[in-house]
Amino acid sequence: MSTIKKIQMKSKELSAFQLIVIFYLSALIVSTLLLKIPFALRPNAELSFIDAMFTSASAVSVTGLSVISIKDTFNNFGIFLLCLILQLGGLGVMSLSTFLWVMLGKKVGLKERQLIMIDQNQSNLSGLVHLAKRIFVIFISIEIIGGIILGLCFLKYYSSAYTAFKHGFFAAISAVTNAGFDITGESLIPFHNNYFVQTIVMLLIIFGAIGFPVIVEVYEFLTTYKSKKKFRFTLFTKLTTLTFIIITLLGAVFIYLLDSRHFFIDKDWFDSVFYSLFHSVTSKSAGLATTDINEFTPSNQLFMSILMFIGGSPSSASGGIRTTTFAIVILAIVFYAQGKGAIKIFKRELKSDDVLKSFIVLTTGAFLCLISILILSITENGTMIEVIFEVTSAFGTNGLSLGLTPNLSTFGKVLIIILMFIGRVGIVTCLLMLRGKGSSEKIHYPKEKVIIG
């Protein structure tokens, strides 16, 4: 039997969840090898294998944590390769693969549709190829528009148009993919007084973090609005958008209040609004910053860690437990306290399976982060708040850091790589990967109540 046939038979034995994890691991390995290409590096720049793998994992998971200086390590070709990897991570392995597959005139089969469904966190198989194509076109279009606008804005900051647009397009890609990488070495700190640049970057971050199905639905609503056809937004879009807005606004308020007598004490109201709002938006996934995060108080850094743990929306470039998970858990607590057996919102009733899944994701994510914090507090030479911030940043695929990343030990780097990988692939996918194809339960036992709480 040929090797190809053996691989095909073996792949049929794997579940779709296992294949997704394998594809992302493959993307990680290939990206690591690409970044190790000698002519991708600057003259005299060195990049060890573990640092290349860390950078690759950070790019594939669109996190942005880096143990190296991007601008001092990679030349233009290396930065181009990094942009390609960010596209792969931001769009998702299956969405990008599907678009290329369709462009080549290939038929997308049932197995591929299952993989797209898992990769984009969808619940059914219908319309997935159409969704993948729409996501690709909208995603790339937003990056191009954002890159042109930022490039024009950067003309006054750089000596040549080439440099300005190079930084503009990289910043746009980094924002839309929620990667948080920068080639300035200072994130967006040089633009802390340029509110137009900050507004554009915030909009790009939101496009990448609010969820691809939401963007597609908004696009379809706008295209059908003139025809006066009746359009109904899904419960997912309503719940996701409402939760995203509430968390962003409350996040900005708390960031200001927690530092009102420290960082914001000498800032006027306009500066305070932009600093608070920008860091609320970026804390959920993007990792870009307009000031050194170390300037905030530890209480604010802890609050931002909570925002990073929550992350962005499902089916987006974000990580963390996701906004809908957080919203459903809060709703479940509120409705339970009111003595109601079902969660009802927007004239719809949530499925009990989704509620259970939300608590499993929250609990597993919290347990994973707590264990990682405990381990890194022993192995690394950082303060507790630095460790907490690093762990939640990795799990939320955020990229913000208090400075611990470059000083991580080899073990610490490996642990952070694992957290970034889980944050990007998703807890549900990782858990179901362990189950394999599974089988239906044939034996049931009598049910019995257990005292809880």
Instruction: Give 86 or 230, the one with higher predicted confidence.
Output: 86
Q: What is the pLDDT of residue 448?
A: 81
- Asked whether the predicted pLDDT for residue 8 surpasses 50, the reply is no
Q: What is the pLDDT of residue 87?
A: 85
pLDDT, tens digit (0-9, with 9 covering 90-100), for 269-314: 989 999 999 999 999 888 889 999 999 999 999 999 999 999 988 8
Share of the chain above pLDDT 90, in %: 41
* 86, 58 contact by CB (below 8 A): no
Task: Write down the domain spans for the chain.
Answer: 14-433
Residue 3 pLDDT class (50, 70, 90 cuts): very low
d(CA 41, CA 24): 24
23-32, 225-234, 296-305 — most confident range: 296-305
d(CA 414, CA 412): 5
- Asked whether the predicted pLDDT for residue 126 surpasses 70, the reply is no
- Asked whether the predicted pLDDT for residue 202 surpasses 50, the reply is yes
d(CA 25, CA 155): 39
pLDDT, tens digit (0-9, with 9 covering 90-100), for 320-352: 899 999 999 999 999 889 888 788 888 888 888
Burial 409-437 (b: 16+ CB within 10 A, else e): eeebbebbbebbbbbbbbbbbbebbeeee
d(CA 390, CA 376): 9
Q: What are phi and psi of 351, to 5 degrees?
A: -70, 140
Query: Measured between alpha carbons, how far is residue 393 from residues 65, 264, 286, 396 in Å?
Result: 8, 24, 10, 5
Q: What are phi and psi of 348, to 5 degrees?
A: -135, 155
- pTM for the model: 0.87
Which ranges constitute the DSSP H helices of 259-383? 269-283, 298-310, 323-337, 352-379
Residue 221 pLDDT class (50, 70, 90 cuts): confident
d(CA 381, CA 298): 17
**Cβ count near 296 (within 10 Å):** 22
Count helices and strands (H / E) in the chain.
19, 2
